[in-house]
Structure 1
Amino acid sequence: MSTLLDKANELAQVLKESEEFTKLQNLHNEINEDEVAKRMLDNFRNVQLELQQKQMQGQEITEEEVQQAQKQFELVQQHEKIMQLMEEEQRMSQLVGEVNKKITEPLEELYAVDNTEQ
């Protein structure tokens, strides 16, 4: 098991040193240094989080809340650095998803074999 954890730590280090991570980190730092951009992004993410929480709790989202979220999104779309950050976050999410898929492949194969035997 320690070998597996060693490899996971190695993978984490490779991720930290990757061009994708560096670009994401730099954009994140630039936005944090820009008070207006940081506030805009925080507001947008807070609205998103509130809506997600309501959905998860089975509460209905009002038309007013949808319009508020849309306005927040339109605002952040106008900020070049925020849009670049969001694009890089999407790329990183896809990359991590691909890595996760690769890591869990043996388990999927194992359970796929078990399911076909039943």
Structure 2
Amino acid sequence: MSNIHDNAHSLEKAIRESEEFQNLKTAFETVMKNSETKQMFDEFRDTQIRLQEKQMQGLEITEEEIETARKVVEQVQANQDISTLMAEEQHVNELINEISRIITSPLEDLYGNPNNLN
């Protein structure tokens, strides 16, 4: 019987070698090579994190913060390299979500799927 941790490490390696991850890595490197694009991306990520932290703390997000975030998002969406990076990140997230569904299926089987209740 193989060790479950060895299988997890094999899965991690397979994700790193996947086309989806390689495309993400290339897109990330493209963004990081351009100082202006990198700065824009960093500002976008910082804004995201700040707003998420406020939400998690139950703090109200001000209209000014919403407007600032909207402007940052518009700038990011107008940048082809960052848009590509975000699309590639979405592909990797979809892959990981699919893998998560597969590896959690034993729990679904054990506890039952509410959709199958008749």
SS in 2 for 1:37: helix
Please report how far the alpha carbon of residue 64 of structure 1 lies from its aligned counterpart in structure 2 after TM superposition: 0.7
- Give the CA RMSD over aligned residues: 1.4
TM-score by length of 1: 0.91
Divergent runs of 4+, >2 A: none
Residue 65 of structure 1 aligns to which amino acid in structure 2? E
Gaps of 5+ in 1: 114-118
Please report how far the alpha carbon of residue 112 of structure 1 lies from its aligned counterpart in structure 2 after TM superposition: 2.5
Residue 21 of structure 2 aligns to which amino acid in structure 1? F
**Could you tell me which residue of structure 2 aligns to residue 30 of structure 1?**
30
**Could you tell me which residue of structure 1 aligns to residue 19 of structure 2?**
19
Query: Does 1:8 find its partner at 2:5?
Result: no
Structure with greater helix share of residues: 1
1:10-55 CA deviation, whole Å, 9 max, x = no partner?
1111111111111100111111111011100000110111001000
**Could you tell me which residue of structure 1 aligns to residue 54 of structure 2?**
54
Please report how far the alpha carbon of residue 2 of structure 1 lies from its aligned counterpart in structure 2 after TM superposition: 6.0
Please report how far the alpha carbon of residue 111 of structure 1 lies from its aligned counterpart in structure 2 after TM superposition: 2.1
The total of aligned residue pairs comes to 113
1:42-84 CA deviation, whole Å, 9 max, x = no partner?
0011011100100010000111100000000000111101000
**Could you tell me which residue of structure 2 aligns to residue 108 of structure 1?**
108
Query: Does 1:83 find its partner at 2:71?
Result: no
**Could you tell me which residue of structure 1 aligns to residue 41 of structure 2?**
41
> How many angstroms apart in 2 are the aligned matches of 1:12 and 1:111?
27
Gaps of 5+ in 2: 114-118
Report which structure shows greater RCO (CA 8 Å, sep ≥6). Answer: 2
